[in-house]
Amino acid sequence: MQNEILVDSKSISLSSSSARIDGLAAYTEYDIYVKAFFNPTLFTSEQLSILTRSTAPLITRKEVTDSSIALSWTASPGSIGYTLKLSEAGASSSPRIITTTENQIVIDEQIEPFTNYQVTINAHFPAGHVDLSTQVDVKTDPAAPELTISQVGTREVQFSWSQVPGVEEYSTKLLQNDLIIDEYTISAVTSSFQFKNLNIWTAYTITVTAKTASKSFTGSADFRTCKFL
């Protein structure tokens, strides 16, 4: 006796009572016909209808800032929606649950800077089908330096800034009407500086840029020098 399987108009001859069929499309209906031949003209036939499983979401884009996480993933064929579980790595609190029907999302609420997060994306399907999921770890950027003007005189300004984790060095610039008047590179362990020889009663802008191995983060503050008393 010889067996034959007919799948998608393709015939597969078998000498056993089991078979593995590769190369099928995800979440696709197939009619499988199994024929058992006793001779070239005498056979029995059974039909089996199947729906192949879909594919789990695959992350295609991951972008972060100090206050947002942007993700994109491949759509799971047949999916009726996605649930994202967002949790801070190592935290004991319950994960945030976010639902969407799109295969991309920007999470920009309750996101902390320089924090490790774990995101699980579950693809949901109609009743009777197994949900599929994928997981991704992300770390948000540190916040940009926050500047504080500590003292302003007629010809000088003193200021400080919040330290940025992972910084290699800082650079600070003094600008007037968007033109750079002065600039310095500063050690990573420094968090204050002073510009001198400024013009009296003049508006300026100070920027401080924290430089890491891969990114830069800039904070700024405006001030005006004093008049003579």
Summarize pLDDT for 119-175 with one digit per residue, the tens.
Answer: 999 999 987 778 899 999 999 999 999 999 999 999 999 999 999 999 999 999 999
Q: Residue 48 has what pLDDT?
A: 82
How much is the CA Rg of the chain, to the nearest whole Å?
32
Q: Which pLDDT score is estimated for 1?
A: 46
Of 138 and 4, the structure prediction assigns the larger pLDDT to: 138
User: Could you write out the DSSP letters of every residue in 57-83?
Assistant: --EEEEEE-SS-EEEEE---TT--EEE
Close Cβ partners of 137 (under 8 Å, ≥ 6 residues apart): 89, 116, 117, 118, 119
In whole angstroms, what is the distance from residue 114 CA to residue 150 CA?
26
In this prediction, residues 195-214 reach a mean pLDDT of 96
Rounded CA-CA distance 117/88 in Å is 4
pLDDT band at 74 (very low <50, low <70, confident <90, very high): very high
One-letter amino acid at 203 equals A
Per-residue pLDDT, averaged over 60-85, amounts to 96
Give the residue range(s) of CATH 2.60.40.10 domains in the chain: 59-139, 147-224
Question: Containing H/E element for 219?
Answer: strand 216-224
Amino acid 129: pLDDT:
77
130-165 burial, b at 16+ Cβ within 10 Å, e below that, comes to: eebebeeebebbbbbbebeeeebeeeebebbbeebe
Average the pLDDT over 96-125 and give the result. Answer: 96
Give this prediction's pTM: 0.81
Of the pLDDT bands very low, low, confident and very high (cuts 50, 70, 90), residue 10 is: low
Q: What is the pLDDT of residue 11?
A: 62
- Worst-scoring range by mean pLDDT, 1-5, 23-27, 42-46? 1-5
Looking at domain 147-224, its CATH architecture is Sandwich (2.60)
Which pLDDT does position 84 carry in this prediction?
97
Residue 4, pLDDT > 60, answer: no
**According to CATH, what is the number of the domain 59-139?**
2.60.40.10
